[in-house]
Chain A
């Protein structure tokens, strides 16, 4: 019976079907986006792959081969960059998610003080990373900078935060945590607001303490939000290198070299486009793999909730 689902819907479906086929309409509507996607996402991947497979050494004719990849994996600097990126990702994602969650849990209730504190934590989100880098260049200045100056008052000697390979990456990580934690806190706040109060009430009635409730109710229901924020934090960790570009330029001794900065260096400074392309291909593959992994966890979380 054609009209047992609801008369209007069926009439409209009939009306729609008399027009152009769905795929033609879809193609027309998707075309604007598709053009840009093709030009600036898919074609670049293809061209980078082609360039990566083209070996062109000084004074020689270009030829096909895996030479760029072999050189890439043999390059100590690339290994260092990958290691630094991994350290940086771990150092920023873990602490900032933990802090963001903690702040969100502590500040989720309404009230003027809470609103003020939340605002203070969120402000860094609004300035460009290069502005943060400028401020922190002074803060981390050895001797006369903000940190050392105040530490001196406590009797602690000056340290060259950005000038020592032991602490430079830590300094970069600290800047990122300062910048992004408030942003992640916002997502957690919304996630927490989405958990019905009844769950907590019921658990309280059952005698569950605050930590039990956190573990059994809050965190599981926050799953999708956690997954989402994790992916954003991961992407940020791998793509935000503004402070490296302006403050440390990969140094000292390559200790703040990251994958994206390595690509920038090879392409712009060393003009080794084959190597830069190979590094691009490898990082795209790695990024996709990592993100797929994270997405799958996110999917699982969503299914759990629904």
Chain B
């Protein structure tokens, strides 16, 4: 008996010694969305495993939490339950709302502790990304991967109708003309559409904001989260343009199509052009067997596109150890090497300017002209729509645009309705902000 007991004790000690270093590691969880496609989730897990190996004192559990909207919901629920994740990847335009509700930690002190001034630190990232990353002059979200909407065109279809794929449409007028030529009908059936774009929640708002910006509009107040400009000429014009594409020029199918349907149609040749995120670049590259090319989003008044993508935040309520570990993870993610790797794997562009100086990245960009297009469009990129109660205010517009695409309502009336609904949603914030005056 005694020998057994001693052996058990020894085993216990050994086991404890083996476990102890692991126990000493800081355990953190990291919520991430993958809005595009499943292989990205696996790659993220692989990346996190690599981080864990390189940093034995930290153990990160990566939690795939669905779409951008789902990840937002999950993160907030976890914060409410008193169990905030150490780091969370949020849609870049959600950062503002996390600051408004007081749920995100300002990262300035962490930056300073590393020996840099916040302003200098942000110089590491493309200028267009900085607006969404900061609020009130402080840094809250570190850009992780970013995108802009791109126009993908089917080269064979272009040649077939006498268009030059090397000169894709750059204005709305050229766009409509090309789409009309590319649309093929067989009686009442359309066998090939000129253009398709995803019109589901989140995607639709993003693309619409791009069209509004291309139409000279601001779309939202980038300085303060209490205002949106739905019921303005630039927005009404953009929505009317979408309406015309479906009902007047008949180059786009009616109804709400999701990204799957859009890519499906493009791959099978049932659609000659599509508007899709640069984040889908590698997905398209892998699946599109016909020759294709990418181009800037066409404009009406001036070239302008919103950025998309995600930023990394640290929710409030984490212990200093967790915060330190999360900060290490975040900086590892945005190191030129890792950022470049993720960019090459996904098609998102690396927010870190230095990533493009690395030889692998240079070689990649030289061999992939479509990735270069995405990067070049950055010169025209502006910030992403972000307000108080972003999702609901965004949906106020999206529901109306979906109705327009379905022929249920016309653009002017739709936008008036959208503005009214959005203002009702923004009212509490406005009442405590711009309309709160000294007594």
Interface residues in chain A, defined as those with a beta carbon under 8 Å from any beta carbon in chain B: 57-60, 76, 141-144, 157, 160, 162-166, 249, 251-254, 268-271
Question: Could you say which residues of chain A place their CB within 8 Å of the CB of B270?
Answer: 143
Could you tell me the distance between the alpha carbons of A10 and B261 in the complex, rounded to whole angstroms? Answer: 76
Residues of B within 8 A of A271 (CB): 76, 101, 389
Complex Cα spacing A143 to B264, Å? 9
Enumerate chain A residues within 8 angstroms of B268, measured Cβ to Cβ.
Answer: 144
Would A270 and B391 count as touching, CB distance under 8 A? Answer: yes
Closest Cβ–Cβ distance, residue A263 to chain B (whole Å): 13
B406 touches A58 (CB 8 A): no
- Is the CB of B69 closer than 8 A to any CB of chain A? yes
Contact between chains at A165 and B408 (CB < 8 Å):
yes
CB B170 to nearest CB in A, in angstroms, measures: 29
Q: A253 to chain B: which residues have CB within 8 Å?
A: 399-400, 402-403, 406, 408
Sample of 20 more A-B contacts, CB < 8 Å, known A58-B428, A268-B77: A59-B428, A59-B431, A141-B264, A160-B254, A160-B257, A163-B257, A164-B406, A249-B200, A251-B399, A251-B402, A252-B256, A253-B402, A253-B408, A268-B73, A268-B76, A269-B392, A270-B389, A270-B425, A271-B101, A271-B389
Query: Residue B257 contacts which of A142, A157, A254 (CB distance < 8 angstroms)?
Result: A142
Complex partner residue of B69 from A57, A58, A269, CB under 8 angstroms: A269
Q: Which residues of chain B are within 8 angstroms of A162 by Cβ–Cβ distance?
A: 256
What B residues does A251 contact at CB under 8 A? 200-201, 256, 398-399, 402
Report if B189 contacts A (CB, 8 A): yes
Q: Which residue of B is nearest A271, CB measured?
A: B76
Q: In the complex, which residues of chain B have a beta carbon less than 8 angstroms from the beta carbon of A252?
A: 199-200, 255-256, 399, 402-403, 406
User: Among the listed B188, B201, B265, B425, which residue makes an inter-chain contact with A249, where contact means beta carbons less than 8 Å apart?
Assistant: B201
CA distance A264 to B289 in the complex (A): 41
How many A-B residue pairs have C-beta atoms within 8 angstroms? Tell me. 90
A157 to B270, CA, bound (A): 13
Within the complex, the shortest CB–CB distance from B253 to chain A, in Å, comes to 7
Chain B: how many interface residues by the 8 Å CB criterion? 40
User: Is the Cβ of B392 less than 8 Å from the Cβ of A165?
Assistant: no
| Set of chain A residues within 8 Å of B253, measured between Cβ atoms | 142, 160
Interface residues of B in 393-439 (CB under 8 A from A): 398-400, 402-403, 406, 408, 421, 425, 428-429, 431-432
B27 in contact (CB, < 8 A)? no
Can you list 24 residue pairs at the A/B interface with Cβ under 8 Å? Answer: A57-B428, A58-B429, A59-B431, A60-B432, A141-B264, A142-B255, A142-B257, A142-B261, A143-B270, A160-B257, A163-B255, A164-B255, A249-B201, A252-B199, A252-B255, A252-B256, A252-B399, A253-B399, A253-B408, A254-B399, A268-B76, A268-B77, A269-B391, A270-B389
Question: With A and B bound together, what is the CA distance between A271 and B101 in angstroms?
Answer: 10
A58-B391 in contact (CB<8A): no
Q: At the interface, yes or no: B388 with Cβ under 8 Å from chain A?
A: yes
Residue B55 CB within 8 A of the other chain: no
Residues in chain A near residue B260, CB distance under 8 A: 141
> Which residues from chain B sit less than 8 Å from chain A, CB to CB?
69, 72-73, 76-77, 101, 188-189, 199-201, 253-258, 260-261, 264-265, 268, 270, 388-389, 391-392, 398-400, 402-403, 406, 408, 421, 425, 428-429, 431-432
Question: Which residues does chain B contribute within 8 Å of A166, judged by CB atoms?
Answer: 406
- Tell me whether A165 and B402 are in contact (CB under 8 A): yes
Residues of A within 8 A of B402 (CB): 165, 251-253
Query: Is A157 touching B188 in the complex (CB atoms < 8 A)?
Result: yes
A75 to chain B: closest residue by CB: B424
Who on chain A is nearest to B401 by CB? A253
**Could you say which residues of chain A place their CB within 8 Å of the CB of B256?**
160, 162-164, 251-252
With a CB–CB cut-off of 8 A, which chain A residues contact B432? 58-60
In the complex, A60→B433 CA distance in Å?
A: 12
Give the docked Cα–Cα distance between A249 and B254 (Å).
19
Nearest chain B CB to A211's CB is how many angstroms away? Answer: 43
User: Which of chain A's residues has its CB closest to B66's CB?
Assistant: A246
- On whether A144 and B392 interact (CB within 8 A), knowing A157-B188, A164-B255, the answer reads no
Q: Which residues in B have their C-beta under 8 angstroms from that of A160? A: 253-257, 261
Interface centre among B76, B398, B403, B406 (most CB of A within 10 A): B406
Q: How far is the CA of A270 from the CA of B72 in the complex (A)?
A: 11
Q: Which residue of B lies closest to A266 (CB)?
A: B392
Rounded to whole angstroms, the CA-CA distance of A241 and B69 in the bound complex is 18
A62 to B136, CA, bound (A): 27
A299 to chain B, nearest CB (A): 41
CB <8 Å contact, A164 and B254? yes
Q: Return chain A residues, CB-CB under 8 Å to B428.
A: 57-60
- Find chain B residues with CB under 8 A from A58 CB: 388, 428-429, 431-432
Q: Which residue of chain B has its CB nearest to the CB of A168?
A: B256
